[in-house]
Structure 1
């Protein structure tokens, strides 16, 4: 990390220094936890430039009045040369108004840090395992997978930028019934490749054309050896080959979005290595698994239901509404049984876990978090584990639902969407709403060149800056930091917003919410465009004022730094900062 301190970090340090001084003077007890002390913009911009809750947070443990503590702290902060005024608001919040020089120095700070402006060491090098996508290996990626893929990938990049080590992981569900169905579907395509008329693909199998090349490859390799052979002779072989082919396809689809993973973990390999059995043994030894009978299903009991003794995990101890089976009556592992072993394995090499799941898995969250808590706490660790749920995306074209893909059989492929509208449009759009909110993806709107399209709006801001710099160069004008004192209040408002980027990065990383970066970029682009529009009516507010080269150089220098912050934020989202549109 650079030794250049950004403005919010500098004032966090100033507040810490002031609190240290109050401790030495005996006005504040030593050793009070300060984790919840914040420095942020006031909710109402008219109240100042920065606000801190330090007095509010520390007053109770210090056994003092918040306003009295705020008065002591305000006196200290008011002595700082960059503070024009320090005032107490309400019961003890402190609002600071900064001298213009502080904001002008922040422009230089952005220039000095460049691509590292916003980078943080807040993560302290701790390792976070982010598992995302993890689609069943039964076909190409579809738009149901896209949003979680983008959220997970952007989160991984954000966490790295905020000082964490990150493991990007994909869990291949290659041990369940769905891959047996895949193998049987491929066998039909294999027979078809040998010249057999297979007709319509039977109900319950995968009908997509994407399996045709897999069948052809098997026919070329094995001839008709397995055409009439019993299933027991070819099922495992075809399953292995089909899963490998599907994973190649999935990796290629993800590459179109600029998404990569560090680790691909196989459920089949996990089970073959006996990991679920190890987890069960450990849980039994700690009285967290017992043999019991599940309650009958609520409502009308199915005719084929009968009480069966199963190994049950005591998930009710951890807030679940009932204990959960880890094996089925036939001895095979339940999804839950395999998943808890998988998470236990991940936890061995990480300091925190984050899973990105589709919202249809919401019912599983409580039990898997309970299992991970039991396994890690029992092993003497406290492991932060979060599950982020992502809602599905509805595809529209001019407001009408999009027809399904024939090649895929039942869905619109991610590859088709990326090829039509581009990687950047897909990635940015997926982050324009909180992941738990419903999203419509209208092919017409996401490529619309208007301020109502956030993808265009943000990229246009960066392109406008690049265009302005080119025009200035044609007129022999160049950016320079020498005259930033010429920048007035309206220009400094842009700096005040850009200066929030480093704290936004840290807050977004801590909350595991990469969409906050997209929201910030939209706000910064809006502020930039608003200032630009002033020049439409007032020539003296344009970035290029030909008869005032000093002011022009200062504004161009500011524009470069706003562009740098936009570029840094877009990079976190995996989106290019374009030079022209």
Structure 2
């Protein structure tokens, strides 16, 4: 039961009744939401201000007519005009009690919607170069992308989780050369790793594997051929390592797309370039030098350009380099056209902080290859600074100079890693303090939320101990006399539970899973606060052996809080423990 969706429908129905013929597109702008100040009521709507001008009326005149209409609504105890034409509602207790029954009936599906109507959405995330294990810089994007994919699936989309493997280009040749050095080391040579190579110990097993398969025969091959062999072996090992690292955070992709498949005769880049020419989206021309470039480091030449500015980009983009090879952007266009041809009209790319300049060009590419049918959202994940007790924290590393995903998970666990990385907007840089996330205090957000779930479970254990004859089955909770919950504390907590469907729906529309982390933390705070009040006021205690009916009603509320926290943590990929050690 979504209170806000319910009253949005009622407000729109009222507008239709009062002013027949209103445009549906106009009415889509009507919003019902919590008022900024809770003292003003339970709900607020902008409806009068949305429709007043098209009706040729004053907003307060329309608002007054709506107020009169809702005075007959049994679920509304008071309704009034505020400010320039807002309408504030106070709802009857019965509507909040219906929320509890809705949670009991829907359980793990409370708040789930079919807003996506089964439409296909491609969420591409991580997509790190397969040249080493996942490091902490990748971890934030991995967690964000995975939670966003779960959020979209919860909201009714058909989600594909995709990883784009950058398995071609200069960095893979360097990987091959680095692996070949480890092969020589495995054969007993003393090696020195040059600057610019990959120094991590993770390539030692690759060298050993090459020795086991080829013996000394690679030494007799031309270096270029040996490097390619070493590269293929290293790429396979790196992707296995990346999959294993991601699995530590319970992250699993549906598709691993190889960039290499885009290249070569008959590849997607070639066919895409031909299609772009047919569509008139490319031309031969010259580009002005980017700002900061001098004539000495800028090649002014005629080249094949994509008309990116026709689709919202700041400049047209080169597709072919001076040596005849394709640019990275040519591969990007081909890859996203491939996604579109696979049926994806909704695409979300999760990129690191160093890719913020790619947003407009990727959106231009998707708009062009789909003729405007597909949409692209690029979410940038900013940097993470590792701290311990507020000071920069250095850890042991498998990868030379980088803190790995595995290091972080080993230090604090998967739950803390995921929740803390989601407890901040993705586009804001953040500090990750290892000492804080190990504390079992309210200052540790993940502990605070998980403790609320565990406390709810503990309350049920207490009820079974103190009231062994009380039926605590799901059916009994669903039939509890929740009308007994009429204190301000009860209703305040129920109102918090009632905002869950709206919160998750808004988070899905905005592609912002951090909203769920904020919400479950706020709900946990409200629940802990209620429990504390019960210590001082016996009438607010969850378990009261002298009043079985009130106890059962309160336990229905406790279970609703537990269920919503479980639902929220589940979307975020965090466990909801029944006990904490």
Same fold (TM over 0.5): yes
> CA shift at 1:304, angstroms?
5.3
For 2:541, the equivalent position in structure 1 comes to 542
> CA shift at 1:300, angstroms?
6.0
For 1:209, the equivalent position in structure 2 comes to 201
What do residues 329-374 of structure 1 show as CA deviations (whole Å, max 9, x unaligned)? 1112211111111111112211211111111101121122112212
Distance 1:220 1:531, change over 3 A: same
For 2:309, the equivalent position in structure 1 comes to 316
User: CA contact under 8 A between 1:14 and 1:77: conserved in structure 2?
Assistant: no
For 1:371, the equivalent position in structure 2 comes to 365
Q: In the aligned structure 2, how far is the partner of 1:508 from the partner of 1:492? A: 25
1:9 aligns with 2:1: no
Aligned ranges 1:36-435 → 2 under 5 Å: 36-198=29-191, 200-272=192-264, 273-299=266-292, 301=294, 303=296, 305-348=298-341, 349-377=343-371, 381-403=372-394, 405-435=396-426
Distance 1:562 1:31, change over 3 A: closer
User: CA contact under 8 A between 2:286 and 2:303: conserved in structure 1?
Assistant: yes
Describe the SS at the equivalent of 2:379: strand
> CA shift at 1:302, angstroms?
6.0
TM-score normalized by the length of structure 2: 0.95
User: CA contact under 8 A between 1:162 and 1:509: conserved in structure 2?
Assistant: yes
User: CA contact under 8 A between 2:76 and 2:92: conserved in structure 1?
Assistant: yes
What do residues 123-143 of structure 1 show as CA deviations (whole Å, max 9, x unaligned)? 111111110000000010010
- Deviates most, 299-308 or 479-488: 299-308
Aligned length: 570
User: CA contact under 8 A between 1:32 and 1:58: conserved in structure 2?
Assistant: no
User: CA contact under 8 A between 2:480 and 2:556: conserved in structure 1?
Assistant: no
Distance 1:15 1:374, change over 3 A: same
Distance 1:246 1:8, change over 3 A: same
> CA shift at 1:48, angstroms?
0.9
> CA shift at 1:390, angstroms?
0.6
User: CA contact under 8 A between 1:32 and 1:61: conserved in structure 2?
Assistant: no
> CA shift at 1:290, angstroms?
1.6
1:490 aligns with 2:489: yes
Describe the SS at the equivalent of 1:353: strand
What do residues 307-326 of structure 1 show as CA deviations (whole Å, max 9, x unaligned)? 23321222233343322211
Q: In the aligned structure 1, how far is the partner of 2:393 from the partner of 2:140? A: 17
User: CA contact under 8 A between 2:144 and 2:421: conserved in structure 1?
Assistant: yes
User: CA contact under 8 A between 1:84 and 1:97: conserved in structure 2?
Assistant: yes
> CA shift at 1:404, angstroms?
5.1
User: CA contact under 8 A between 1:168 and 1:262: conserved in structure 2?
Assistant: yes
- Deviates most, 61-70 or 296-305: 296-305
Distance 1:406 1:105, change over 3 A: closer
Distance 1:523 1:229, change over 3 A: same
Q: In the aligned structure 2, how far is the partner of 1:429 from the partner of 1:294? A: 44
- Segments of structure 1 that go 5 or more residues without pairing to the other structure are none
> CA shift at 1:286, angstroms?
2.8
Distance 1:404 1:291, change over 3 A: farther
Aligned-CA RMSD value: 1.7
What do residues 166-209 of structure 1 show as CA deviations (whole Å, max 9, x unaligned)? 111110011121111111111111121122222x2111110100
> CA shift at 1:113, angstroms?
0.3
User: CA contact under 8 A between 1:293 and 1:310: conserved in structure 2?
Assistant: yes
User: CA contact under 8 A between 1:327 and 1:334: conserved in structure 2?
Assistant: yes
User: CA contact under 8 A between 1:6 and 1:109: conserved in structure 2?
Assistant: no
